[in-house]
Structure 1
C-alpha cells in the first residue's frame, strides 16, 4: 500500500477541520442563540466559501449563494490546490460567522440551481471584501468563472 504524501495528509487534515468547523461551530452557535434570525432566516452553516444554509421559518432549510465574490470549489475541485484553497475559504467564513455579533442576509432572487442569491453582512460589513482582500475569493458578478488551478 502506498504511503500518503505530505500533501495528501494536509488535505485530509484540512477537510476534517473544515467539516468540524463548518458543522459544529454554527450548530453550537445557533443552539446558544448567537446566530439569530434576520428578516425571518438564520444563517446556520457555511457549506463552502460562497454558499451557506439558511433556516427560514416559512421554507425550512434553504441553500443560499453569496453574491459579490467566488471561492474555490470544495465539492468538485479541479486540482488539490483548489480543494485546499476552498477549504481555507470555508473555514474562514465559518469562523467569521461565529465571531459576528450581527449577521444579516438580504436577497430573494434565485440562481439556476434554485439557491437564493444573498448578500451577507457580518457586523454591518459585506463579507465579500475581507475574503477578496485575504485572497480567499475573487470578485464575481455572474457569468463565466475563472479556474483556481495554476
Structure 2
C-alpha cells in the first residue's frame, strides 16, 4: 500500500478514538463551578440571557445562558395569557440586569445545545432566579416536563397586571 493510503486509516482511527474519549467524559468535566464574570448583552426572554462571559484575562466568549432552577413563560406561547406573562418576565429581567455585570456559578451544558445553564447572581450576590420566582414571573424547574402556563378554560383572561 502506498504511504498515503496507510495514512488515511491511521488518521480515521485517531479521529474515532478522540471522538470516543470526548463522548465518554463524565458529567464532572461538563460543569464549571465558577464564579465566572459576565456582562449582559441583552435579555432573550424571561429565563435566558445573552452574555459576554469573561473566561480568562482579556478573553471573552458571547453565549446564551439559561438561568438555572426556573422556567418562565414562552414569548411564542400557546395562549395569550402565556405570551403576556412572558413579556412581563422578560421586561422585569431586562430592568433587573441591563447594563450590569453578573456572576455565573455551577455552569453546565444545556440539553438542547447552543447555550449553557448557570446560577446567575448580580454584583451584590442576589440570586436572579429568586427575584423572578418571588414576583411570580417564573416557577421552579429542575428538568423534565414543564407544565402549561395557559389556563385550563380557554375563555379565561390574563391575570397579568401591567
Normalising by the smaller structure, the TM-score range is 0.5 to 0.7
Is the 2:37–2:102 contact (alpha carbons within 8 Å) kept by the matching residues of 1?
Answer: no
Residue 81 to residue 71, structure 1, CA distance change in 2 (3 Å): same
Q: How far apart, in 1, do the equivalents of 2:66 and 2:145 lie?
A: 16
Q: What CA deviation, in whole Å up to 9, does each residue of 1:64-113 have, x standing for no partner? A: 11111110001x3111111110010000001001386x521223311122
> TM-score by structure 1 length?
0.66
| Aligned residue runs from structure 1 range 92-131, under 5 A | 92-98=92-98, 103-114=102-113, 115-122=115-122, 123-131=124-132
Aligned-pair RMSD on alpha carbons? 2.0
> TM-score by structure 2 length?
0.62
SS in 1 for 2:43: strand
The structure with more strand, counted as a fraction of residues: 2
SS in 1 for 2:98: helix
The structure with the larger Rg is: 2
Residue 87 to residue 143, structure 1, CA distance change in 2 (3 Å): same
Q: How far apart, in 2, do the equivalents of 1:137 and 1:40 lie?
A: 24
- Match of 2:49? 52
**Could you list the runs of 5+ residues in structure 1 that have no partner in the other structure?**
1-37
Which runs of structure 1 show a deviation greater than 6 angstroms over 4 or more consecutive aligned residues? none
**Could you list the runs of 5+ residues in structure 2 that have no partner in the other structure?**
1-34, 152-162
